[in-house]
Amino acid sequence: MNASPLPSSTPSSLEALNDWVAEVAALTNPDSIHWCDGSDAEFDALVAGMQADGTLLPLNQDTHPGSWLHRSDPDDVARVEHLTFVCYEKEEDAGPNNNWMAPAEAHAKIDALFDGCMRGRTMYVIPYCMGPIDSPLSRCGVEITDSPYVVANMRLMTRMGADAQARIEREGSFVRGLHSTGELDPDRRYIMHFPDELSIKSYGSGYGGNALLGKKCHALRIASHQARSEGWLAEHMLIVGIENPQGETHYIAAAFPSACGKTNLSMLIPPDAYREKGWKVWTVGDDICWMRPGEDGRLYAINPEAGYFGVAPGTSAKSNPNALASIQHDTIFTNVAVTDDNQPWWEGLDDRVPARDWQGRDYVAGGGKAAHPNSRFTVSAKQCPSYSPQAEAAQGVPISAIVFGGRRASLVPLVFEARDWTHGVLVGASMGSETTAAATGQVGVMRRDPMAMKPFCGYNFADYFGHWLSFDKPGAQLPKVFHVNWFRKGDGGDFLWPGFGDNLRVLEWMIGRVKGEAGAVDTAIGALPRPEDLNLDGVELSDEARDKLFGFDPEGWRSEFDGIGEYLAGYGERAPEALLAEHARIAKRLGG
């Protein structure tokens, strides 16, 4: 690839960008600088260069045309929450939910690592837009990186290149992200966020969200800070449209921790009986949602991303046929295994036996996972069969319901509805889930993960809860709030709910509640459906499943609310009084 110099003359609104690029170049000392334009020719040149140096390995071009495999360093395979910092002048502004470092100390620590780190490398300047390029809800950023793999992924995940740079030129503002893979040394790795400066610095990792700075770093940690100051919400949520046989489409935003089914739900295929009646599901987004009140008081949402960075293991023709169809061509796979004819493979895909594992070693059956549990695919959202044209709507889509959920093997029923917005904020603030492989650490441990934002909220959670509460004001037409648990287990350890496409039965009940048409039973924790309130035609549920999926255990919930109270108390004086009062109201009703 031919490296291009800094533009010799640019509009004054880009002076800050040029000055910053020059400053970074002086610090990192690259051999050349390339300003990315997002063109096909540029992408082809990037891929050719990475194929030449082994960064990208071609997959079977007959079965997966335009698709590639990347193998990351074995010590660089997931988010590193313990090395991720949010840097405000005051530690309490970062909150107990974040690792904190003072900005001056953080800059000094990470700039020492950046010093000369791009010597012998090309420095890429990536202008990008999070959200439709002409949407007032969108925000722009620029990532500087020495990784062509990052450039290729950012092209799929964002609106990257000349159009984004033109918007930056018009607006004169952008989030600054500086990244280098460095030596890929876990002991020389940091991801630093400076919300007040709208900037990010990441060193020592080439993995996903650690390196694709438009994703979690910008679209959640920095954007949540922007959203608080500008009056909107930046959330770890899918956006899905449910079209009924009458042609009405209701849009639902749902927050689940990573690897808990967001992508599956966003690309849901209705059961046969529903399809025959005319139900359709439209995918707007699978991971991140930005919401802003519209003139009519409703929340309108965009997906700031242009692609999917999905978890491969478990993706199959049964679990998510739309995702599988999306990744049959023009896809970058990371840390998956391959078959003997060089097709991508992972656990849960099919019954074939892979030939080589995610590190390129000959696979031996019984010798461990062939694909890394957090292996990924990166693909344009437009390749999804259920892709919604409304994903590019500048005004966003109106949200009818917000759904929280996680992995809970016991206690939590299949679904319940919050009494009102304040109760809904408490439901989101107190949700818990069993940990997955998307983050380093032990798997299967239950932890509180408010709004599925624990690793991603860019400021003190107590203030974040207060920001959520602030949307309940005169004239607001807020979505109804629900909680789901697809992962309830029986005494024998088996899942009680079939999940996948049958989750539409639960979404149908939610839409019925939004329209005032579906029945429910009032309990201390919210409105629960009875089995007869859901369409369960064709679903076989045991007596145990019906009892536990639709049941309410007051004693168990008293204990749960004791734990929620202790959790909220951990935020001290910043915990919103309205949230504490709502907790006390429900605890009293439970007899706690």
**What amino acid positions are annotated as catalytic residues?**
260
Nearest to 533 by CA among 553, 517, 554, 514: 517
141's tokens: 């950023």
189 among annotated binding-site residues: no
408 assigned ligand-binding residue:
no
- Sorted by sequence, the CB contacts under 8 Å of residue 9 that are 6+ apart come out as none
207 is in an annotated binding site: yes
Q: 260 among the known binding-site residues?
A: yes
Nearest to 436 by CA among 79, 184, 186: 79
Burial (Cβ within 10 Å: 0-12, 13-18, ≥19) of residue 41: exposed
Q: Is 430 labelled a binding residue?
A: no
- Between CA 151 and CA 471 the distance in angstroms is 37
**85, HSE (Cβ side, Cα atoms, 13 Å):** 23
Tokens 């994703």 belong to residue = 215
263 marked among binding-site residues: yes
Q: Cβ of 569: how many Cβ atoms within 10 Å?
A: 11
Residue 247 assigned to a binding site: no
287 is in an annotated binding site: yes
User: Is the CB of residue 216 less than 8 Å from the CB of residue 198?
Assistant: no
Using a 10 angstrom Cβ sphere, with 0-12 exposed, 13-18 middle and 19 or more buried, the burial of residue 315 is: buried
Question: What is the rounded distance in angstroms from the CA atom of residue 105 to the CA atom of residue 438?
Answer: 29
331 is an annotated ligand-binding site residue: no
State yes or no: 236 annotated in a binding site.
yes
Give the three-class secondary structure for 411: coil
Determine if residue 262 is labeled as part of a ligand binding site.
yes
Q: Is 387 annotated as a binding residue?
A: no
SS3 of residue 590 by DSSP: helix
Angle at 591 between CA 589 and CA 592, to 5 degrees: 110
| 3-state secondary structure at position 490 | coil
- Measured in whole angstroms, the distance separating CA 165 from the mean position of its chain's CA atoms is 25
Task: Answer yes or no: is 500 a known binding residue.
Answer: yes
Does 64 show up as a binding residue in the annotation?
no
Local structure of 191: helix, strand or coil: strand
Residue 218 annotated as part of some ligand binding site? no
Nearest C-alpha neighbor of 10 from the set 26, 1, 21 = 21
Binding-site residue numbers are: 79, 207-209, 216, 236, 258-264, 287, 374-376, 407, 500-503
Binding-site residue numbers for substrate are: 79, 207-209, 258, 374-376
Binding-site residue numbers for GTP are: 259-264, 376, 407, 500-503
